[in-house]
Chain A
């Protein structure tokens, strides 16, 4: 969903939820990304390693946050997208993605670039990943 709100500092995107997450979603991301770490699809191995169950890849949540951000500000406009991994995400979790424009600057080439703060929060209130990104914007 693309927002029609004006792109000004402080503008926030309509939050979007993903989930409840399933192991099948983790498996689908494993195949798509090529990350075959069994902690994300093999429950026996995940439990043997001391986890309550398999858990989501941090890069899986990053990809969901990227879906949220590119639907908001345009897939072709992204210039930078960065995340920090903070809390594990488990089957059944519901993630809420939020974003806010924290800056609008003019790049050396004269184009306008919006900097955004992004957050992917679990239903517990814990932050799974936080991020920042830059998107070119046509008019701000």
Chain B
């Protein structure tokens, strides 16, 4: 294994130990929330003094928490339905037309990624107060779609890079209109990128806090907004139960996106 130019495994054991410790630092804090959420005590210690599902019951029986969850789910799903087609179309259009103008538009569409979210939040707040969109689902969807758009565009654009355009040209030379060539030839081949993009759009919206803090409320309060305001005042074990559910969702999304990526790598 080791040759003269390379340190042996034994020589670099410290690197493995250090790396392992860092991975633990990254993983453990979040994972510790899972056993804590099954505690029967209202005081959050580790290990918990006894086990129970009371905090899950508390979450499930509280209309405030469940209705906030529904608001978040609804907004995230509609955001996926808005951001995925818009981002996919934009990525496709810019990929096919190219040129300096296309590059400029690409960067313009990527700006929500680098602008501090608090800045977008106050801008949206100012805009919505004039359009009567404050505290509405529509308002949340529009703002969240803007945040999700760059992710969708970037993922689909990278999918298009490995797609051979000549196949679409062949379809078109045989008489298929562009939209038909796109739907039957291009889209099926970049579908893994599009599905990953939709997943990321969902999580972007579902996890967003700052904009929701300013423009959601009342009946349209999102889960994250409610979690944030609750956490500011106290440490409520109900949040441990909610966190565990959210961790489950994230793990599902990561594994799914990893599997999709492996599949698309296989295809070359």
Q: Are A and B a genuine interacting pair, yes or no?
A: no
List residues of chain B with CB under 8 Å of any chain A CB: none
